[in-house]
Amino acid sequence: MDKFVTIIGGGLAGCEAAYQIAKQGIKVKLYEMKPEKFSEAHKNENLAEIVCSNSFKSNLHTNACGLLKEELRLLSSLLIQCADETSVPAGQALAVDREDFSKLVTQKIKENPYIEIINKEYTGEELITKKEKNKEEIIIIATGPLTSNALAENISKITGENHLYFYDAAAPIIKKDSIDMNIAFYRKPI
Ligand SMILES: Cc1cc2nc3c(=O)[nH]c(=O)nc-3n(C[C@H](O)[C@H](O)[C@H](O)COP(=O)(O)OP(=O)(O)OC[C@H]3O[C@@H](n4cnc5c(N)ncnc54)[C@H](O)[C@@H]3O)c2cc1C
């Protein structure tokens, strides 16, 4: 079979996408720039490196975080399976040993015969050529908030947008004038 999907970025999103696509019997070319190049936050050579908190938050079915994880379990998510296998005690939360977690995800991705890992920075020059030639190919960009500069610049050229957006689910940024101060209050510094 010569059809394949290209995924750029072997982080959390890229690994899950690669695994789910491979499960459908479709080949995947997974580009990961490590260990050739590291972002400011990434430090180890493994895929699915957790750069900050090792907690995936609550496992309880009485809140959105727990329900989402349970849905992912039902859908055979690779990341949740690996997280469950490498979990560490954290009360009602799902927290993982970050080293064991990324090692396990890397092992599962490496042993998958449908996934080819290419340790190379994908700069996106190819995206511009493909757009010009109107060539159709499925490419998933999963390079996260620390997308390499070269790729970010080329995406910017293609889209005509100067910046990419980063939405942080855990710490959303809200505009001050959108807050109803009749029900909100300032907390005095301690
Ligand atoms: C400092 C910091 C702290 C954070 N803290 C939290 C937190 O506490 N909780 C939380 O939920 N989220 C946090 N985040 C967001 C966190 O990055 C995401 O939750 C999660 O890692 C995103 O997964 P991802 O797969 O989208 O990106 P990542 O996990 O960052 O994976 C992207 C991968 O793409 C690779 N890559 C980048 N550019 C290229 C390229 N051009 N070619 C090939 N490979 C490339 C990178 O090397 C990396 O392996 C934090 C982010 C940062 C930077």
Query: pLDDT value at position 37?
Result: 97
User: Binning pLDDT at 50, 70 and 90, where does residue 172 land?
Assistant: low
Point out the ligand 1 atom lying closest to the alpha carbon of residue 124. 41
User: Binning pLDDT at 50, 70 and 90, where does residue 170 land?
Assistant: low
Q: Is the CB of 66 under 6 A from ligand 1?
A: no
Has residue 1 got a pLDDT over 60? no
Has residue 3 got a pLDDT over 70? yes
Q: State whether residue 30 is helix, strand or coil.
A: strand
Has residue 129 got a pLDDT over 90? no
Distance from C-alpha of 148 to C-alpha of 134, rounded to nearest angstrom: 25
Strand extents, DSSP E, the chain: 4-8, 27-31, 55-58, 87-88, 93-96, 115-118, 139-141
Distance from C-alpha of 122 to C-alpha of 141, rounded to nearest angstrom: 10
Distance from C-alpha of 167 to C-alpha of 188, rounded to nearest angstrom: 28
CB 141 within 8 A of CB 9: yes
Nearest CA owner, ligand 1 atom 35:
9
The amino acid present at 82, given as its one-letter code, is C
Stretch 145-167: mean pLDDT? 88
User: Binning pLDDT at 50, 70 and 90, where does residue 54 land?
Assistant: very high
* Cβ within 8 Å of residue 148, ≥6 positions away: 33, 37, 39, 121, 123
Q: In this predicted structure, which of 13-22, 86-95, 155-164 has the lowest mean pLDDT?
A: 155-164
Distance from C-alpha of 92 to C-alpha of 26, rounded to nearest angstrom: 37
Query: pLDDT value at position 171?
Result: 66
Point out the ligand 1 atom lying closest to the alpha carbon of residue 37. 47
Identify which has the larger pLDDT, 129 or 39.
Answer: 39
Q: Where are the domains of the chain?
A: 4-49+102-178, 55-96
pLDDT digits (tens, 9 = 90+) for 73-116: 999 999 999 999 999 999 999 999 999 999 999 999 999 999 99
Query: pLDDT value at position 137?
Result: 85
Candidates 7, 20, 37, 51: which one to mutate for ligand 1, based on the most atoms within 8 Å of Cβ? 51
User: What is the CA(50)–ligand 1 centre distance, in A?
Assistant: 8
Class at the top of the CATH hierarchy for domain 4-49+102-178: alpha beta
Length of the chain: 190
- H helices of 34-190, in order, are 64-74, 78-85, 98-110, 125-133, 149-159
Q: Is the CB of 143 under 6 A from ligand 1?
A: yes
Q: In this predicted structure, which of 15-24, 70-79, 156-165 has the lowest mean pLDDT?
A: 156-165
Q: Is the CB of 28 under 6 A from ligand 1?
A: no
Question: Beta 115-118 vs 27-31: how paired, if at all?
Answer: parallel
Burial of 186 (0-12, 13-18, 19+ CB in 10 A): exposed
Per-range mean pLDDT, top range of 94-103, 128-137, 173-182: 94-103
The rounded mean pLDDT for the chain is 92
